[in-house]
Each structure stands twice: as structure tokens, then as C-alpha cells.
Amino acid sequence: MSAASITKQDAELRIQPLSAHIGAEIHGVDLTRPLSAAQIADIRAALLKWRVVFFREQFLNHEQHIAFSAQFGELTVGHPVFGHVDGHPQIYSISKFRKATRFEGQSLLRPWTGWHTDVTAAVNPPFASILRGVTIPPYGGDTQWTNLVIAYDRLSEPVRRFVDGLRGVHRFAPPAGATGTSAFASAVEQHVLVSEHPLVRVHPETGERALYVSPGFLKHIVGVTPRESQALLELLWEHVTRPEFTVRFKWEAGSIAFWDNRTTAHLAPTDIFDLDFDRQLYRTTLVGDVPVGPDGRASVSIEGSPVGAAAAVALN
């Protein structure tokens, strides 16, 4: 290894924020190579501060993607319901033509439709997700993220006190009014995941409180009437997707997004289905902890198993 390459790899990272509350690009690092302890610490610090961090021109293969991810935690199986890439149990394929997770006939679209935090139906949702762009359309296909900590902070104090004590049931199921494909129905039936989480979770590293209300998975609030649950959830879902809490990312081939799943929700694009271009990304996820609310109560599993490294190993 040349002195020049050592100097470049060990140079201080450059952090470029993209919005007021969430999202930053990180420059000055080569993710195809092992990172130094200082670089890992700097990237993790940026992740905790900006919730989602982005890298450009990082042309990783599957093995390098897995190796980069493993420097920040244990990897889960690609997806606990929909499986993984053949030969790489830690990687999940996200393509335009994913039949298993496509829905048709959705009857009601609302401002929060499609927003979600990854796999919150599990009792220990992933700590983080790392998404790599490979085939990217020349336009369209942007992904958005929102900051659930600032969303909690911007609630009025009486509402914060109220939601601090509430809990909700998260379930892996099609959106209301949607007709899933047979592949989707079969996968969900074979891998049922249902968990009860606090509506506000305390971040295990920073102590911050995040409004943990994944629109794609949270089905109802525990201990209130159905109408009360609907009204409260719609209020909170509308709130967490306020534009000023969000960042929108334009993908390029070689782009990587690395987000803290404990403090964010995100929105996958749907405009790609109106375009003639292919879109292919690959994702790894890192094993997460069991959420804990402000009252100290941990989440509980209602049905299904925790999402952990053991599942990935078993499929290898």
C-alpha cells in the first residue's frame, strides 16, 4: 500500500449536511476497504447526529457491502419475511419489479402512505439499514427520510406527556385496502411478525426520545377505542411526515444510504413505476435492540421470532 493511499484513507472525513434536521453526505473515505477505528467512530457519530448519512461513488460488490456493514454491528438475514439474495443471506434485493412486495388496488392514499420504519413488526427491529444503489434511473426514484426525534420534540408538551405512556401493536400485513400478490400472501402467512412497542422509544445510545409510529406497520394503539386509535395515529403520522423534518436523496450508481432505524422513517419511491427505466438496489440490516419507552417498559413479542444474526447464519 502506498503512502498516498494511506494518507487518503486516514484523512479526516468531510460531513456535508443536507437539511436542517436530517441527512448528511460523508466524503473522504473508501468503503471498499476496512475502515480505521477513528473512521468508524466518526461515521457512527455522524449517523447519530444526522440520522441518515450518504456516500457517493462507492462501487461495492456484495462481499464488500457485507464487510462494510459488519464494522457497525451484526447483520440480520436479508429480510425476515421475503428472504435474501442467493448465496448472500445477509443481502436483500430491492428492485423495481419486486413482485413479493408489490400491491395493487390500494383504495386510499394519504400523506403518510408508504412511510415506514424497517421491520418494526419484530420485537427487535433493526438498528440500522444500509442501502446500496447499483442500477439507477436517470431521473425519478428518490427516497425520503424523516427525523422522528425532532418530530417528538415539536409536539406540544401536553401531547408529548400523553404519548409517552402509550403503546401500539405493529404487524406485518398489506396496507389497508390493498390486494397483495399470492407471493406476498404466502410469505406473510409463513413468517408472521406482531409486536407491541411504545409509541415513544428512548434511544439506547443518546437517550433521545423518538416518536416511534411507523405508518406502514403500526396498526392500533393499545387500550383505547378503535376511533380514538385512528384519530391519534392519523394525527401523529401526519405530524412525522412534515416536510421540514425530512430529507430527499437523489440516487446515483455507487450511492449508499446508511440510516438509524431507531430515529427515522422513510418513504420508498413510487414514481419509478411510471418510468421505463430499471432500478436495482441492495440492502443489509444490522441487529437491533428491544425498544424501551420513557416509563422503562420494553417492547414485547406477540407472535414471531426476534430478527437476529442467527437467522442469517442458519440460511448460509
Is there a catalytic annotation at residue 118? yes
Looking at the domain assignment, is residue 311 inside a domain? Answer: no
Looking at the domain assignment, is residue 42 inside a domain? Answer: yes
Looking at the domain assignment, is residue 119 inside a domain? Answer: yes
d(CA 149, CA 212): 9
d(CA 298, CA 259): 23
Q: Which three cell numbers stand for residue 281?
A: 438496489
Catalytic residue among 118, 167, 170, 197: 118
Looking at the domain assignment, is residue 247 inside a domain? Answer: yes
Catalytic residue among 84, 88, 116, 239: 116
Looking at the domain assignment, is residue 92 inside a domain? Answer: yes
Measured CA to CA in angstroms, residue 216 lies from 7, 115, 235 at distances of 45, 6, 15
- Contact status, residue 283 vs residue 130, Cβ threshold 8 Å: yes
| Domain CATH number, residue 231 | 3.60.130.10
pTM of the model: 0.88
State the chain's mean pLDDT as an integer: 87
Looking at the domain assignment, is residue 262 inside a domain? Answer: yes
| pLDDT number for residue 40 | 98
Catalytic residue among 79, 201, 262, 266: 266
Q: Please choose, from the candidates 264, 257, 254, the residue with its C-alpha nearest in 3D space to the C-alpha of residue 214.
A: 264
Looking at the domain assignment, is residue 251 inside a domain? Answer: yes
**Parent domain of 85:** 3-306
Q: Which three cell numbers stand for residue 179?
A: 390486494
What CA dihedral angle connects 32, 36, 39 and 41, to 10 degrees?
A: 130
Is there a catalytic annotation at residue 283? yes
Give the chain's domain count. Answer: 1
Q: What is the pLDDT of residues 237-270, one digit of tens each?
A: 999 999 999 999 999 999 999 999 999 999 999 8
Q: Residue 314: pLDDT above 70?
A: no
Q: What is the pLDDT of residues 70-84, one digit of tens each?
A: 999 999 986 666 566
Query: The dihedral of CA 241, 134, 52, 221: what is its sign?
Result: positive
Q: End-to-end CA distance of the chain: give it in Å, rounded.
A: 33
Looking at the domain assignment, is residue 315 inside a domain? Answer: no
- DSSP letter at 244 equals G
Q: Report the DSSP beta bridge partners of residue 168.
A: 197, 221
